[in-house]
Amino acid sequence: VQADGTDGNCVTFVLHDEDHTLGNSLRYMVMKNPDVEFCGYCITHPSESKINFRIQTRGSLPAVEPFRKGLNDLMGVCQHVLDTFEVRLLPEELRGLF
């Protein structure tokens, strides 16, 4: 959902079947970008598993770019955690099963 009168620098993304776990983590990753002026999310209703995730950028940077970068950075962090877990905590015979 793009705000009227903007050129794509203020967008609300609707994420279905998600909750605070993704919302807060993704908000943190997106806010690390210095070109992001505002980033926040809300759960529309406790009985719905849907997030409204809003990003507003400075200048003409499209909001979809920091959104995509935030998702990729978050996937990288999750992969690093999984790799570290497998190397340090799993017995060698169970590695690669997860």
Specify if 5 maps to a domain.
no
Which CATH number covers residue 85? 3.30.1360.10
> Can you give the pLDDT at residue 85?
83
Q: What is the number of other CB atoms lying within 10 angstroms of the CB of residue 26?
A: 23
Could you list the residue range(s) of the whole structural domain that residue 78 is in? 10-89
> Can you give the pLDDT at residue 37?
96
Q: Which CA distances in Å does 25 have to 48, 55, 73, 77, 98?
A: 19, 14, 10, 10, 22
Is 91:51 a contact under the CB 8 Å cutoff?
no
Specify if 55 maps to a domain.
yes
Q: What is the pLDDT of residues 36-73, one digit of tens each?
A: 999 999 998 989 889 999 999 998 899 999 999 999 99
Number of domains comprising the chain: 1
Q: What is the pLDDT of residues 18-32, one digit of tens each?
A: 999 999 999 999 999
Phi, psi for 66 (deg, rounded to 5): -65, -25
pTM above 0.85, yes or no: no
Residue of 1 and 66 predicted with greater confidence: 66
Q: Which residue has the tokens 């807060």?
A: 24
Specify if 97 maps to a domain.
no
Is 67:30 a contact under the CB 8 Å cutoff?
yes
Specify if 65 maps to a domain.
yes
Specify if 44 maps to a domain.
yes
